[in-house]
């Protein structure tokens, strides 16, 4: 039995994008700001583990995040999503070719500090 679109898009995620601002000295800088919250489907796609200097382990996990086409007005590669305190950096995005009303974002899960393991 095929899932409907409403059943698939069951995660409420926050969307952040780079915004231009000026410092107190008049210098141009870029900071991330939340632009919206959208319903999405988050599916893990791949993961890899490797050993780096000092016997540390580096883990890389990619996810596919699917949203409605109009959910984000201007999709860009410098965006990131946040869901349950975890950050997903956009690697690239493309239209979902089976349905014209969806966009697929391929993202890298970013784990910062010990708080993500609690």
What pLDDT score was predicted for residue 117?
45
Is residue 61 a contact partner of residue 50, using CB atoms and an 8 Å limit?
A: no
The contacts found for 87-93 with CB under 8 angstroms, 24 or more apart, are 87/112, 88/13, 88/42, 88/63, 91/62
**Vertex 31, ends 13 and 89: CA angle to 5°?**
40
What pLDDT score was predicted for residue 24?
86
What pLDDT score was predicted for residue 59?
77
Report the DSSP pairing between strands 28-52 and 11-22. antiparallel
Domains belonging to the chain, first-starting first, are: 5-113 (2.40.10.270)
What pLDDT score was predicted for residue 118?
44
Parts of the chain with a pLDDT under 50: 1, 116-118
39/43 Cα distance (integer angstroms): 13
What pLDDT score was predicted for residue 116?
45
């Amino acid at each position: 039995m095929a899932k409907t679109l409403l059943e698939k898009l069951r995660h409420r995620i926050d969307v952040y994008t780079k915004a231009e601002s000026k410092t107190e000295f008049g210098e141009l800088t870029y900071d991330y700001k939340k632009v919206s919250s959208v319903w999405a489907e988050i599916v893990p796609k791949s993961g890899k583990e490797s050993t780096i200097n000092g016997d540390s382990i580096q883990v890389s996990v990619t996810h596919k995040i699917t949203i409605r086409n109009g959910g984000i007005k201007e999709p860009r590669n410098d965006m990131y999503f946040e869901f349950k305190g975890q950050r997903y950096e956009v690697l690239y995005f493309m239209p979902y070719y089976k349905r014209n009303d969806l966009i697929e974002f391929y993202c890298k899960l970013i784990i910062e500090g010990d708080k993500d393991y609690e």
